[in-house]
Structure 1
Amino acid sequence: MKHPQVDSHTASANLAEVAATLARVIPALHEHEFPQIFTQALMDLTGAEDGTLLWFRSDHLPQVAYNEPRTDGAESTLDAYLQGAFLLDPFYRAAGIDGLRGIFALGDLAPEGFRDSEYFSTWYPLTGFNDECGVLLSLPDGFLHCALTTMATDRFFTAEQLKTIADAFPAIEALAQSHWANAPQFNPIQPQIRQQLNGALATFGSSLLTRREREVVEHVLLGNSTRRIAEKLGVSAETIKLHRKHAYSKLDISSQGELFHLFMDCIFSIPQDYNQDPLIAYQQSR
């Protein structure tokens, strides 16, 4: 992420703010209230109005380490997110698939067309979020994703706010690693659920679709625009539209919205240790 230059007075003020904030966090290390104080500190440093700390341990489903209580009556989407919708989240894919760490704005990670995707239009209006950034931190057994959001329609994270966290990132990550260093590990004989769900996304529709149609469907689910999919696959936009039309016909759907909900229904219906096209399990369960 590129950041603008800041003058020495601003840099000094930012350093003082970071030091004062971390001074509130350090005494809570290894205490029950640490996740809340840690999340609130990151909210204060970025001006975020909402914060959720998600813990991706080993290869298992994410857990909520801390969730800022909602007071505006907005509908919670966390349950569906934790059970499988996280697969389409740009922040999860950056940290869990690509191994990125640091602070990122949504625009840094989301593919072209993401704000027009069904995932975005289903998720973000329900939550009431306007802008989002994520702090992605390494842990010995996985990673943390601190999702920070603004709620007001005219509130966006500034480059200066993101730079404040970026500059303090080594200290922030060290605090998280120290607190969670002795956390209980998952039983290694438990099923590798995240690996199974990632496989479900990669095989979704493979029992009905051609390889190219399946690739197009996956890119659509991840929020890529037609132009971007065409670039990725090295074909024309018209060819992508044709593949998408054929795929929708075979899946008996007619829109991106129906595709998204069909995928989510399939994810929620697959049994433990299932490694085939999730459409098959979904159809068998109906």
Structure 2
Amino acid sequence: MEPTKGKTYRSTLALTFDERVIAAFASLWRCLGTADFSAAVMDVLDAVCATDSCGILVYYRQRKPLSLLHRFNPVQRKVAADIYSTGPYALDPQYRLFLAGCPTGAYWLRNVAPDDFYSSEYYQTFYSKTGVADSIDVLWRIDDDSALVFFMQRNIHSNEFTAADLTALNMVLPILSEALTKHYQLATALPQANPDDKTHQQVECTLSHFASSLLTKRERDVLLYMLRGYSSALTAQKLNTSDGTVKIHRKNIYRKLEISSQAELFSLFINCIPFARPDEDSDPLQLYQQNHRL
């Protein structure tokens, strides 16, 4: 296999209506009310701001994300397209933004991520598997509990997004928002996630109870910020305490969990998700360790 060649994309801040952009918008109007409409929206976004990989998710407050489309173009090794929905989404800054109630808009990862996110184990382990280096999410609110997310990604061999890319996306967003509103007045409702799938409940249970049998509440607060990519300094600000105190908590977390790195912490958290019992207050880590000893 030939090595992947990097690309340099130009920003379309002036929104030049070249042949590709015109064709994408024309297709958008043709597809109103049809099953091809969501993909047509993605085509418009990709014409305005070029990507290496892109796709569409539905975010739910009470269920795991549902994948509607994934144009996956990994540059390192192939991974399952649904790996995001098995648990890593819970630590995604853009998903956390959705949970916080952000409005319809374009959100650049570098603007919403915690200060240590790019050196966090979540970024190093999850993003490195997909080859993604940078991303912008165009989020369209359906209601308080759900949203369509058009994710746009560039890989490690391409240039990152720029402020001009974000501006261009925000300029076409009002048009797309009106088109989406009209489409869902004409079309059937969005497909729903499988109500019998307990993954989201297990993820939420793991967030709520992971290591609760070993750590104090304050240590668990620090642990969750560690998993999401917050530095000691920013964690201290969030918890209204000192940087030194947070560092002490981090040392205690490592000692009590018998680990020595954030890589081990992240792996332990992900491995515990299948052992979570949403109807109980039990610690998934304790159940994972018991199973591991058998």
Instruction: Give the 3 Å change call, closer, same or farther, for CA 71–212 of structure 1 in structure 2.
Output: closer
- What SS does structure 1 have at the residue aligned with 2:259? coil
What's the TM-score once normalised by structure 2's chain length? 0.82
Cross-structure match for 1:74: 77
**Residue by residue, what CA displacement relative to the aligned partner does 1:47-102 show, whole Å, maximum 9, x if unpaired?**
22210211124622211110004375632254331121100011111112343431
- What SS does structure 2 have at the residue aligned with 1:250? helix
The equivalent position to 2:48 in structure 1, one of 45, 48, 56, is 45
- What SS does structure 1 have at the residue aligned with 2:244? helix
Match of 1:224, as an amino acid? Y
Instruction: Give the 3 Å change call, closer, same or farther, for CA 124–187 of structure 1 in structure 2.
Output: closer
**Residue by residue, what CA displacement relative to the aligned partner does 1:11-40 show, whole Å, maximum 9, x if unpaired?**
574799877643321211232332322222
* Residues 60-99 of structure 1: pairs in structure 2 closer than 5 A: 60-70=63-73, 72=75, 74-99=77-102
* Residues 91-130 of structure 1: pairs in structure 2 closer than 5 A: 91-130=94-133
Cross-structure match for 2:265: 259
Compute the displacement of 1:111 (Å). 0.3
Tell me how far apart the structure 2 counterparts of residues 285 and 203 of structure 1 sit (CA, whole Å): 17
Tell me how large the CA RMSD over aligned residues is: 3.0
Q: What are structure 1's unaligned runs of at least 5 residues?
A: 1-9
- What SS does structure 2 have at the residue aligned with 1:53? strand
The answer on whether the counterparts of 1:134 and 1:148 sit within 8 Å (CA) in structure 2 is yes
Instruction: Give the 3 Å change call, closer, same or farther, for CA 133–161 of structure 1 in structure 2.
Output: same
1:22 aligns to 2:25 (yes or no): yes
Cross-structure match for 1:167: 171
Cross-structure match for 2:162: 158
Structure with greater proportional helix content: 1
Tell me how far apart the structure 2 counterparts of residues 129 and 270 of structure 1 sit (CA, whole Å): 29
Q: When the two structures are aligned, how many residues end up with a matched partner? A: 278
Q: What are structure 2's unaligned runs of at least 5 residues?
A: 1-12
% same residue: 31
What's the TM-score once normalised by structure 1's chain length? 0.84
Give runs of ≥4 in structure 1 deviating > 6 Å. Answer: 14-19
Tell me how far apart the structure 2 counterparts of residues 145 and 205 of structure 1 sit (CA, whole Å): 32
* Residues 163-242 of structure 1: pairs in structure 2 closer than 5 A: 163-180=167-184, 182-183=188-189, 186=192, 194=200, 197-242=203-248
Tell me how far apart the structure 1 counterparts of residues 74 and 237 of structure 2 sit (CA, whole Å): 43
Compute the displacement of 1:190 (Å). 5.2
Instruction: Give the 3 Å change call, closer, same or farther, for CA 21–163 of structure 1 in structure 2.
Output: farther
